[in-house]
Chains A and B, each alone.
Chain A
Amino acid sequence: MERAAALDDPRPVLSALIEAGYRVIAPVEQDGAIRYLPAVDPDSLPKGRIDSQTPGSYRLEDGDPERWFDYVVSPESWKAWLYPARRKMWTSTRSEDGLSFERPEAEWTPTAFFGVRPCDLAAIEKQDAILKDGAFADPDYAHRRENALIVVIQCARSAETCFCASMNTGPRAQAGFDIALTELGAEADHRFLVEAGSEAGARVLEGLTEDATEADKDAAHAATNAAAASQIRVMPENVAAGLKARLTAPEWDDVAKRCLNCANCTMACPTCFCSDVQDTSDLTGDLTDRWRVWDSCFNPDFSYIHGGAVRTSSMSRYRQWMTHKLSSWHDQFGASGCVGCGRCIAWCPVGIDIVAEAETLMAQPED
């Protein structure tokens, strides 16, 4: 933390980003939730609000009116911006000269993500490894990502659904951000520790901050440590190997009975990347667009191959989701596919809890 500094109000950072020409996406309260939306006014931050997130439930409440960032993750993750639900891949035109193909315009100006939580930063890094740096990179994702500046808010409060501490993704991000803020203390001591993680971040902060004291740094660590200590959900440590050894446990049928197969968990998950490609054509048949749209392993046709779907039972689809997140992601990409953000727990309409299910399964005998 070499370039730590302090600030007593977060709004100048937002203003500086806007002045520097960034389009800023920040937390905004809308329709009963705090969402990540374009912010033109630093005063639109939902100061004093907190989110109560429990299995199958999300409610906003009033918290300490002086505190800015005691809510945690929004219903949608940043993937809605980096990897939008529906995106045109190309257009083809048929004419007398034959077929021609065209890529759409990039439609992305330099953007600052203000208020990325450490778990979500870890999720972005996981998607980077696949969609930007992987063997099947998505050029549109890569372009957006390369033109996104990240302002992390380190978490001083965790929701009941958060379990980043046991996934080693939070509540304090060590690197990977351009700027990071930690909200400290209350009332007279209320200030922010500001860390610059990149040249671009340091440029934005120029002239805004005073030097941080050792006490500020200690307070920042104490704040995020307290959030970690408050987390009641802990993912079992050996879950990756453990699930693999229990693929036929009857408990899979039990969760399948409760699961709606509605796909909300996968759509809300910040690391899920599965998509479908669809073509649309016009009435002349000469103009065709190819689209990438979010898909999910819970959708009945997801595993459709010639002659039918492979995973026809609800059990096989839930097992696919959970083992991919927690186990086979390690084999595929060298790490867990879960960052512990808790979205799949809160936004599951029937409150199925991936941590509780993992604990139940791990308590079963091996196959």
Chain B
Amino acid sequence: MDKLRVGVWKFASCDGCQLSLLDCEDELLAIADSVHIAHFLEATSRIEGGPYDIGFVEGSVTTEHDAQRIQDIRAETKVLVTIGACATTGGIQALRNYADHGEWMREVYAHPEYIQALDTSSPIADHVKVDLEVHGCPVNKNQLIELITATIAARKPNIPNMAQCVECKRAGTTCVMVSKGIPCLGPVTRAGCGNLCPSMGRGCYGCFGPLKGGNTEALMAEFAALGVAEADSQHLFRGFTAAAPEFERAGGLK
């Protein structure tokens, strides 16, 4: 089999997800050996053109230029995979979708007139067809490796479609909500991070995004019973995946 040609692209993002890819230290050499990296600016300045077998896209669309660029990448890529909260939901920068973008720019930049940006931050799937989404802020490197090894073996990758709570129970983490009364988004957040926050004794803040069909209403009723004020409860949902439709509603943004 010819080596898979892989491209990695960055849009509006912090680079953390690409770093997760580079963080696959033990596996990195073997990955580099088993695939052909044709475009990955964070790792190499050598740029080759398409077509690409797999394309990983990090970041959200926040400029006209990027809105066009993602079309070009899609046209040259067989399997397009979005990685991380920004690419899959619009990221933390999507909070501007609910504010006066012009006013924020004037507050932050000395010369806002030099900045050409859209007044929204949107996920890649709003612009082109996405074949697979890998969630998280940042993504979990084991999920990236799973994706690559599954593609090589031509099998369906194991990307869990269940609540973060399942990770707690499998790991033997004592539930922070039940044992400490800490509000936790785990019951409505998809699993996959490796149980990071609850295993450190804090509530999940939803960086893997909403589990499809999650019952945010019942969870917010429980937060209220724990004594969390409604505004604070809404704030919990206004994080890295605030613009995902389920959290947008729960967060009172829509």
B-binding residues in A (CB < 8 A): 30-33, 35, 56-59, 75-76, 80, 85-86, 257-264, 267-268, 278-285, 288, 293-294, 296, 299-301, 314, 346-351
Contact = CB atoms under 8 A, between A and B. Distances in A.
Nearest to A54: B178
A267 B170 contact: yes
A30 B158 CA distance: 32
Given A75-B175, A281-B150, A293 B170 contact: yes
A329 B19 CA distance: 49
B65 interface: no
Interface string B164-187: 011011111011011111001011
Nearest to A278: B158
A346 B179 CA distance: 9
Interface in B126-171: 146, 148-150, 152-153, 155, 158, 161-163, 165-166, 168-171
Nearest to B29: A283
A262 B222 contact: no
Interface stretch (B40-48, B99-107, B210-218, B227-235): B210-218
B218 A258 contact: yes
B149 A281 contact: yes
Contacts of A35: 172, 174
Contacts of A30: 174
What are the 4 A-B residue pairs with the smallest beta carbon separation, nearest first? Answer: A267-B169, A85-B170, A262-B187, A260-B187
Given A75-B178, A285-B152, A350-B222, 13 more contacts: A35-B172, A58-B175, A76-B169, A76-B172, A260-B165, A260-B187, A261-B215, A262-B166, A264-B187, A283-B30, A294-B170, A300-B162, A347-B175
A351 B223 CA distance: 12
B219 interface: yes
A293 B152 CA distance: 23
A283 B34 contact: yes
Contacts of B212: 300
B236 interface: no
Contacts, number: 135
Contacts of A347: 175, 178
A84 B162 CA distance: 19
Contacts of A288: 153
A236 B161 CA distance: 35
Residue among A58, A262, A300, A347 with max Cβ neighbours from chain B (10 Å): A262
Interface string B35-54: 00000000000000000000
Contacts of A260: 163, 165, 187-188, 214-215, 218-219
Nearest to B145: A283
Interface string B183-219: 0101110000000000001000000000111110111
B14 interface: no
Contacts of A314: 213, 215
Given A314-B215, A349-B175, A261 B163 contact: yes
A84 to B, nearest CB: 9
A349 B169 CA distance: 13
A263 B149 contact: no
Contact of B165 (A75, A258, A349): A349
Contacts of A267: 165-166, 169-170
Residue among B146, B148, B179, B211 with max Cβ neighbours from chain A (10 Å): B179
Contacts of A31: 174, 179, 201
Contacts of B72: none
A260 to B, nearest CB: 4
Contacts of A346: 178
